Structure formats: C-alpha cells, structure tokens
Amino acid sequence: MKYCLLALLCLAAFAQATDRQATELPESSKARDALGPGTVQLSPVREGNRVLISAEHADVQIEFCTASMVRVRSSWDREFDENAALGLMVTKRDWPPVVINTAEEADFYELESKQLLVRVYKSPLRLEFYASDGTLLSTERIEVGGMAQEVAGVSVHKKLQDSEQVFGFGQRMDFINQRGKQLELTVGRGMGRPHIIGAYNILEANYSPVPFFMSTRGYGIFLHTPYTSRWDMGHATPGVYSFEAEGGELDYYFMAGADFPALLDQYTAVTGKSPLLPKPAHGLHVGTYSGGTWGYEKHTSTDYVVNLGRTFREKEIPVDIIHLDSTWRMFGEQGGSGATTFEWRETFDDPEAMFDQLYDMGYSMVGVHVRPRYDNGRQYKLLDQARDAGMVYPEPNNTGEFVNFFDPDAVDWWWEHGAMKVASQGAMFFKTDEGSAFGRKANESDKTGPTGPEAERLHNLFPLAYAKAPFEKFSEHNQMRGFNLTREGYAGIQRYPYLWAGDWPSEWQYFKPVIRAGLNMGLSGVGYWSHNMGGFEHDPDPELYIRWTQFGLFSPIAHLFGMDHPGYKEPWRYGEEAERIFKQYDRMRYRFIPYIYSEAYQMHRTGMPMMRALVLEYQEDENTHDIDDQYLFGRNLLIAPVTTKGAQTRVVYLPEGTWYDYWSGETYEGQRYHNIVTPLDQLPIFVKAGGILPQQRVMNVGQETAENLTLEIFPGGESSYPIYDDDGKSKAYLSGVYAITDISVKAESNRTLIRIEAPRGDYELPERTYTLKVRRDGPPESVVEGANPLRVFGSPVEYEKNQSQAGWYFDDEAGELYVRLAGTSLSDISVAINQ
C-alpha cells in the first residue's frame, strides 16, 4: 500500500510539474516528458565543500572539489548513489577544504570560490558558471535548459556560445572539433558485415569513449556515468548543446581553466594520472602471430618467435617488448578464438625455453594475448572449474563465461588458476583484447554475454576492470611497475595505462583517421596510446608501410603488429628501402629515449599527453581547431605525417613562433601554412626555436645506462628543458626517488649561453658527460666552458679521433656546431658560444 501511495504522489507531482512547464517551455520540449528540478523550496544547506539545494522535484548537490572545479549531482529520488561507478572511473573523492563565499539575491544564490562562481537560479533551478574575472563560462538559462529527468534517463541542456569550440570525447576517428556534431558514447566497434561497413566504419568505431570535453570558452565537463551517453553539441539546435545518460543519477564535474592543459590536469586529478611505464616500454614493441594467424595456426611455433627475436638483433633493429598474439593458445571447446584456455597450442614445443631465449637476447618484457572469457582446453577445464567455483560473471543457469573482474575474489582465482600458468613460465604482461564483448555481441563469435540492466550499467566499466586486473597482478608478480596493453577503455583507462587504436586495415583511407584517434585520445586525458603501424589486416604497399611506420615511431608507444600472412609487418618483408627507412626511424626513436621518457614523466605529473593536437597548446589560434593530421610530440617537436599516396609535398601549418626544419635547419615563420617537400625517407619534423632535445646513443634500454647525453639545441630567446631520470623499473619514483637535470639556453645577439645543472632529487644518477649539437648559421668565434676556451677541431675526423679531449668543430654543410664538454653531471656546467 505504501508503494502505491508513493507512486500516486509521484504521478501527481509529475502532473503538476508538466502543467508548470507548459507555461515555461516551448511545445517541442513537452513531448520529451522531461522533469526539471523545479523551483527551489529551501535555502541551501552547506556541509564542508558541499551545498545541498532542495527543489520541488529533485535535490541538487554542488561540491567544490577545488577552487576551480565543482561536482554537480541531481537526484529525483533525493538519494545520492555513492557506488554508482564502482570507483573505477574516479580515484579521488575526498577533497581538502575550499573557501566558499555565499550570497543570496532575489532571483538566485551565489556560491563563490577564488576561481569559480556558481549562480543558482531559484525558479526554476538552473545553473550558471563564471570565471573569477566575471566571464560567463556556461549557462542553462535558455528556452529548453537545465537538468532534467527523462523517460530514458537524465539530461542537461546548456547554451553553446557563438565562438565556442569543443574537443575530447575519447578515441573518436571522425572529427577533432565536435561542435555541431552528435555523438553516442558506449564502448564498442562498428557492427555488421562485410567489415568495410561494419567494424571498419570510422563513424561507429568507439573503442575507448570518454564522456569528457573541453571548451575554448574556458571550461571542461566530465559526465560521471557508466551508462551510454549521447551528446548533441549544437547539431539539433544551433546555440544549444546537451548531454544525456541512459540511466543513473545526473552527475558531472564542471572545471574552469585558463587553457586546455589546465583542464586536462584537473580532469586527470579526478580520474587518475597515468603511471610511468617501465623505461624499455618507450622503445619498440613487436607483436607476432608466431608464424600463423587464423587459418594458418599449424605454422605457429616457438622457433618462429625465437628466430624473429634473433633476426631483429642481427639486423640491429632495436626492439624491447614482444607479445604473442592469439594463436599461441588453444582456442577451446566453446568460445573458439573469442575465449582463453591458458593452454599452449601443441605447435609450441617449449614455451619456457622460448621465454628464456628471448630474455637472454636482451628483450625486456614478453607477453601474451588474452580474452576475457574462460574456455576448456585439452588439459585445463578452466571454464568448468570457474563455473563450479562461482568465479564467472553470473548468467542464468550457470552459463557464464566472462571472468568476473568486478569481484576481487574472482580476479584472484583467475590469476592463480589461469594467468599464472603462463606468468610462471616467463610471460610478463597481457594484451587484453575484446573488452567490448561484455554485454554485447563479441567480435569473434555470436556470444553476447550478460544482458539486463546491471550488465548495461557495467558494459562501459568492464574494460577498466579487465585492464586493471593484469596491470596490478603482474606488477606485484614482476616486482616492478605495472604494464598492460589493451584495446578498449573508458574514463580512467589512462591508469592501466596504454591503448592501441584497434585493427584498422593497411589501406591509405584508414591512415589519417588513426592519427585523428590518437589526437582525440590525448585531448581526453590518455597519453600512452599506440596503433598497429603499417595497418593490421591486408598487405600494405611499401610506400604506405614506410609512411605509417614513420608516424608510428613518433607515436607515444611504437607498436608494430599485423596479421597479413606471412608479412606480419616485419620490416624486411616490404623491400630493402622499407627496411632501411624503418631501421633509420627506429634507431632515431631510441636516440630520443631521454626526450620521450622526460615527456612521459611530465604526462604522469600533469596529464599532458605526449601526442598533442595543435589546439591543445594553441587554442587561441583558430587555424589549429580543425587540424587533425599534425601534432606536437612532446613540447618541442612538431610532426606532420604524409598520408597521401605518391605525395611529394604536403602543406604544414606552423603555429606562432619561429620553427626549424629538423632535417635541413631551415627556419620558417609561424602562424602560416608552408608547402614542404616530402621525400619518402623524410617524415616532416619541425622544432620550435628554443627547443632542446636530449638524446643518447642507440642502446638496449632495459640493460644499459647512457654514459653521455647529446643536447640538440635550436636557439631562440630563452628556453629550458628538465631531463627526467630514475631507475626505469621500480615504483620508487612515486615516492620522489628520481632526478631532474635542468637545461637552460639564452640566445643573445652576440652569444648563446647554455647551462646544464647538476641533477637534483633523491635518485643517484650515474655520472655522465654531455655533448652539445647546436643549430646555427655559421661557426662561432669561440666556445668557452666555465672560464676555459675549448679547443677547435678542424674536421669531424679530428674531432672523433680526440674523444678524450673537450673541444668543438662546426659542420658548414649541415649548419651544426658540435661541442664535447669537459664537465660531467657531478657539477653545474656553463657554456658560452660567442659569435
């Protein structure tokens, strides 16, 4: 009887609200059956950082997380669900006290911190957000505005300002700037066959959606929901944007920031910063089908894998990480290729010896591919055992197959009875595939998995739980930093921590969308990102292979893998020219490890990705808003991949400042478009004036330490660069055990001053020396280190012969000054290059 009475009261309240809204809203919105909070009934109640406002139909809670970020929650049943997202998306819930001033006017309340003002209008309850200088950032005061409960979930409508542009939303392959677009965010890939209109549909691909965007207006919004969400960014109604979730309460974070980097820092403060991967993971990763992809499984063998590792070493092509993809294992009785038996295929004679041989060759980590469902093999009946133990995700009649990654006990069981079968033999990480299969049709079978409301709520969270489990378990088992490679993700996936873009064919039409996916990932707080360089399926023409791998070797993670039998994207399979150019860029990447690793640390600290859309650094420049095929690689390099077959030139946009062509040393003025000649062996690379690029010799990152760093300098005004160092393996960096070497350069009219400071920090850095490589128009009059003029060498031959002596020589043809310094990292070093 109580529930019937409650239902009648709710219906009556709904009817009253509908009558009121008929006078407030246009006819089109009445059809949506939306119920807003209504008129504020009581004065706001404050408790710490939280302010509770009770309105006719809903309670609204506004929590100041920081002075520049608030969390807005609306509940139509007047209860707030603290476990709605299972803690997988958000890592920080307890915030220090924030000074908040409150005021009341006739029509509204004001809640003000040092950096953000929230205005709460009373009738009906609607929100406005202002920056500390009084600039209106966001408002719900539009004809159809504000928060609402609808039949299909919850929603918000806000005003879209005339000049406002929006970026983010995860691994989108369609556009960078999403103003005027409609989006649906739910983990998955395009469905339907043939693949060309299904899984290879760049409009539908949604491997890692992130319900977060940043506006050029100076704010960002993170919709904290596990449910499918839909976003209309000014498509249906110009000047209005909306977002809605299919279920749960309305819960979003609003953050104000002067620029996109500040917003990313705040977003990743909520959802977690990326950890640092082990240092060798910043080198080259190679995946292999072990000699036989699907349909060729009989060709697989341990010998193939060992010979592959040996071939890379013999050809002096540096590699640090290898993973064995799906054909290493028996596919099982029920799940086919879509499940995991943890049982080696019979063609693998001695897996443990295989691991040992690869590690003896100097490979840092070797892992294997898995999927999130159990299956029975010939030896191990893991599916039966897991069901008997209650360790699968529950489905009717005990038919479950998915590992219940939401249950810590089930994760322990999976690790002990499944994962440890290969971890104990030498596997050091997993490639976790098919995270989208939970609650929807899997790619490799007709298996749908759990259905119903709870599965719908957990669908987007499953990839997070799936990646988290091996990341943490292997970290504990290996006694080192966690490492995991995964395909699907959602808000917070940067913690587990690296994605690849999916299995896009080796066709020119997919090359540029993959670049776009990486840029959007960076704009959504995910920094460790990769792709199957050269494409995945199909046999690429050598030109595409070269162009794609050039881009891949200047991606956050360099990941080489394909299923084109028998090529598999191994560089020697595409001709001598392709092999030569691949080797050139791979070795170049290894020289850049000090730069890449330093940028990775900054990503861990601030949330800034290594691969940055130009708009991320230059959002005031409208020319950058739609550029989706160029990016900054760290703070000092601009990369412009060539994505057109046969192109001998490409147009490159350079933002403000002066830029050096990395190859020729020629300088270009910024805020202009330039037509750049693009020989096949030259990826267009530019360095902003003032850029400092620390480099080392090509070496095995996991087993050697650089005894000398080369600092490649492109003078321009005053600039600096912090080189980051730690032990490359342990988690001690999280406790401050690292070292920073600060480099500063000041280019004056008659001299260039360079200072290399002794490392600071708790990590004891092995002593090292330094070489300078300075771009300039002509030779200097002198080079002085401290108070000592350095010797001049007449030629590079003489310079190389006298390795033990400090000195310099100038390469007229290249426009490069080489300086070998006497000082070491044990003390500060000052150098003056005089005209």
CA–CA–CA angle 803, 804, 806 (5° rounding): 90
CA–CA dist 711, 686 (Å, integer): 16
CA–CA–CA angle 532, 533, 539 (5° rounding): 90
Contact (CB, 8 A) for 575 and 581? no
Q: What are phi and psi of 350, to 5 degrees?
A: -145, 80
> What tens digit of pLDDT does each residue of 539-571 get?
999 999 999 999 999 999 999 999 999 999 999
Cβ contacts of residue 2 below 8 Å, gap of 6+? Answer: none
pLDDT at residue 166 is higher than 80? yes
CA–CA dist 124, 145 (Å, integer): 10
Sign of the alpha-carbon torsion through 16, 22, 24, 28: positive
pLDDT band at 26 (very low <50, low <70, confident <90, very high): very low
CA–CA dist 124, 141 (Å, integer): 10
Query: What pLDDT was estimated at residue 336?
Result: 76
Question: Can you tell me the mean pLDDT for 111-132?
Answer: 98
pLDDT band at 29 (very low <50, low <70, confident <90, very high): very low
Strands 430-432 and 485-486: parallel
CA–CA dist 368, 323 (Å, integer): 5
- Do 611-688 and 282-530+542-555+571-603 have the same topology in CATH? no
E strand residue ranges, 190-233: 209-215, 219-223, 229-233
CA–CA dist 791, 809 (Å, integer): 9
pLDDT band at 194 (very low <50, low <70, confident <90, very high): confident
Token pair 């809605």: residue: 244
pLDDT at residue 823 is higher than 50? yes
Considering the chain, what percentage of its residues have pLDDT values greater than 90?
90
Tell me what the pLDDT averaged over the chain comes to: 94
CA–CA dist 627, 469 (Å, integer): 37
Q: How far apart are the first and last CA of the chain?
A: 93
Three-class DSSP category at 233: strand
Contact (CB, 8 A) for 144 and 160? no
Question: Can you tell me the mean pLDDT for 10-21?
Answer: 37
pLDDT band at 15 (very low <50, low <70, confident <90, very high): very low
Token pair 């704009």: residue: 523
pLDDT at residue 687 is higher than 90? yes
Contact (CB, 8 A) for 566 and 292? no
Query: What pLDDT was estimated at residue 84?
Result: 54
DSSP 605-623: HH---SEE-HHHH-TT-GG
Contact (CB, 8 A) for 530 and 171? no
Query: What pLDDT was estimated at residue 133?
Result: 95
Query: The CATH number of 34-159+219-256 is which of 3.30.360.10, 2.60.40.1760, 2.40.37.10, 3.90.650.10?
Result: 2.60.40.1760
What is the topology classification, in CATH, of domain 611-688? Immunoglobulin-like (2.60.40)
DSSP 620-641: T-GGGTT--S-EEETTTEEE--
What six digits make up the tokens of 761? 């920090």
CA–CA dist 718, 703 (Å, integer): 36
> What tens digit of pLDDT does each residue of 488-534 get?
999 999 999 999 999 999 999 999 999 999 999 999 999 999 999 99
Token pair 């595939």: residue: 433
Which uninterrupted H or E stretch holds 159? Answer: strand 153-159
pLDDT band at 32 (very low <50, low <70, confident <90, very high): low
The widest CA-to-CA distance across the chain, in whole angstroms, is 99
pLDDT band at 719 (very low <50, low <70, confident <90, very high): very high
What pTM was computed for the model? 0.95
Which of 70-84, 258-272, 679-693 is least confident? 70-84
Look at residues 339, 333, 400, 401 and name the one whose alpha carbon lies nearest to residue 370: 339
E strand residue ranges, 519-562: 529-530, 558-560
Query: What pLDDT was estimated at residue 444?
Result: 59
pLDDT at residue 18 is higher than 50? no
pLDDT at residue 447 is higher than 80? no
Query: What pLDDT was estimated at residue 338?
Result: 83
What six digits make up the tokens of 783? 């080079």
Strands 529-530 and 485-486: unpaired
> What tens digit of pLDDT does each residue of 665-677 get?
999 999 999 999 9
What Rg do the C-alpha atoms of the chain give, in angstroms? 28
pLDDT band at 445 (very low <50, low <70, confident <90, very high): low
> What tens digit of pLDDT does each residue of 200-255 get?
999 999 999 999 999 999 999 999 999 999 999 999 999 999 999 999 999 999 99
* Type of residue found at 571: P
Contact (CB, 8 A) for 129 and 118? yes
> What tens digit of pLDDT does each residue of 400-423 get?
999 999 999 999 999 999 999 999
Helices (H), 695-774: none
pLDDT at residue 53 is higher than 80? yes
> What tens digit of pLDDT does each residue of 562-606 get?
999 999 999 999 999 999 999 999 999 999 999 999 999 999 999
CA–CA dist 725, 299 (Å, integer): 43
Residue 796 CA, distance from chain mean position: 42
Question: Domain-by-domain residue ranges, the chain?
Answer: 34-159+219-256, 282-530+542-555+571-603, 611-688, 715-834
Which uninterrupted H or E stretch holds 517? Answer: helix 508-522
Query: What pLDDT was estimated at residue 785?
Result: 98
- The CATH superfamily assigned to 282-530+542-555+571-603 is Glycosidases (3.20.20.80)
Contact (CB, 8 A) for 322 and 288? yes
Give CA separation, 439 vs 86, 454, 605, in Å.
17, 9, 35
> What tens digit of pLDDT does each residue of 133-144 get?
999 999 999 988
pLDDT at residue 37 is higher than 60? yes
What is the SS3 string spanning 767-781?
Answer: CCEEEEEEECCCCCC
Give CA separation, 579 vs 206, 573, 582, 593, in Å.
33, 8, 5, 21
For residues 137 and 7, which has the higher predicted lDDT (pLDDT)?
Answer: 137
Query: What pLDDT was estimated at residue 4?
Result: 38
What six digits make up the tokens of 514? 């993959």
What is the topology classification, in CATH, of domain 715-834? Immunoglobulin-like (2.60.40)
